[in-house]
Amino acid sequence: GAGVSQSPRYKVAKRGQDVALRCDPISGHVSLFWYQQALGQGPEFLTYFQNEAQLDKSGLPSDRFFAERPEGSVSTLKIQRTQQEDSAVYLCASSLVAGESEKLFFGSGTQLSVL
Amino acid sequence: DQQVKQNSPSLSVQEGRISILNCDYTNSMFDYFLWYKKYPAEGPTFLISISSIKDKNEDGRFTVFLNKSAKHLSLHIVPSQPGDSAVYFCAARRGDDYKLSFGAGTTVTVRA
């Protein structure tokens, strides 16, 4: 596709429910990032993939958060037993080469609301 | 622990005038700085960057200034246009890192 695509655009979950957020990066992009943006804050790093390898998951807030990119393209961020503090916009970004922040393309995000 | 801070949540400026957005950072290891622009319902898009070996970088109407000793950078938009109305994020990273640390953003409104 022309850009990074994320789905769903909005997700409402009841506390305790599991959710899965999908990211389709730009075709051929090696690097894929997930960021979490809480209301009124800037994006915060969650995890980084280079192809299918998850090289850094230091930003994941708890073991309820899990991300995968099994074939080196589409990625899924899964949150188990959602809590109210998980409410945020989850942004996916991809780039052709790691570290090319000028050429980091973001999706529109998934807005997660946990009730 | 916020390592990048944008202390002005909002800025209102008249069309044609200068917009000045400020950003402070605390991590002295940061050596690459970027500004991203974000419209509602869209993801952030890259605007301009500066390496720590420079103190100024200009791209059209946008200029970024870096003061390393003060750990401060600013973005100047001259002249401001209605299409510049957006949220602007300051971001920083170490040169050998891929992770970006973002500020909380400044919402710019350009009045006609």
pLDDT in tens, A31-70: 999 999 999 999 999 999 999 999 999 999 999 999 999 9
Q: What local confidence, expressed as pLDDT, does residue A1 receive? A: 52
Q: Does B44 lie at the interface with A, CB-CB under 8 angstroms?
A: yes
Average pLDDT along chain B: 95
Q: What local confidence, expressed as pLDDT, does residue A109 receive? A: 97
Question: Which distant-in-sequence residues (6+ apart) come within 8 Å of B16 by Cβ?
Answer: B79, B80
Q: What local confidence, expressed as pLDDT, does residue A64 receive? A: 98
Q: What local confidence, expressed as pLDDT, does residue B88 receive? A: 98
pLDDT higher than threshold 80 for residue B112: yes
* Nearest chain B CA: its distance from A72 CA (Å): 18
Is residue A113 a part of any domain in this protein? no
- Residue of A31, A45, A106 with shortest CB distance to B44: A106
Best residue of B32, B100, B106 to probe chain A, by most A CBs closer than 10 Å:
B100
CB A29, CB A85: distance < 8 Å: no
What is the number of domains present in chain B?
1
Best residue of A101, A105, A110 to probe chain B, by most B CBs closer than 10 Å:
A101
Give the whole-angstrom CA distance, residue B108 versus residue B112.
Answer: 13
**pLDDT grade, residue B96 (50/70/90)?**
confident
Is residue A110 a part of any domain in this protein? no
Give the whole-angstrom CA distance, residue A34 versus residue A61.
Answer: 12
Average pLDDT over residues B17-21: 98
Pairing of the two strands A31-37 and A44-50: antiparallel
Instruction: Name the DSSP class of B82.
Output: G
Domain that holds residue B64: 4-111
Closest by CA to A69, choosing from A56, A58, A82, A84, is: A56
A82 backbone dihedrals φ, ψ, rounded to 5°: -55, 145
pLDDT higher than threshold 80 for residue B84: yes
Domain that holds residue A31: 5-101
CATH number of residue A13's parent domain:
2.60.40.10
What is the number of domains present in chain A?
1
Task: Test A91 with B103 for CB contact under 8 angstroms.
Answer: no
Paired residues of A19 in beta bridges: A79
CATH number of residue B58's parent domain:
2.60.40.10
Write b or e for each residue in B79-106: b if 16 or more Cβ atoms lie within 10 A of its Cβ, otherwise e.
ebeeebbbbbbbbbbeeebbbbbbbbbb
- Tens of pLDDT, residue by residue over A64-101, are 999 999 999 999 999 999 999 999 999 999 999 876 77
**pLDDT grade, residue B10 (50/70/90)?**
very high
pLDDT higher than threshold 60 for residue B77: yes
**Cα torsion at A56, A79, B101, B61 (round to 10°)?**
120
* Nearest chain A CA: its distance from B37 CA (Å): 11
* Nearest chain A CA: its distance from B73 CA (Å): 17
Paired residues of B10 in beta bridges: B107
CB B106, CB B11: distance < 8 Å: yes
- Tens of pLDDT, residue by residue over A93-106, are 999 987 677 788 99
Looking at chain B, which runs of residues are DSSP E strands? 4-5, 10-14, 19-25, 32-38, 45-51, 56-59, 62-67, 72-77, 86-93, 101-102, 106-111
Record the tokens describing residue B27, joined without a space: 């991590």
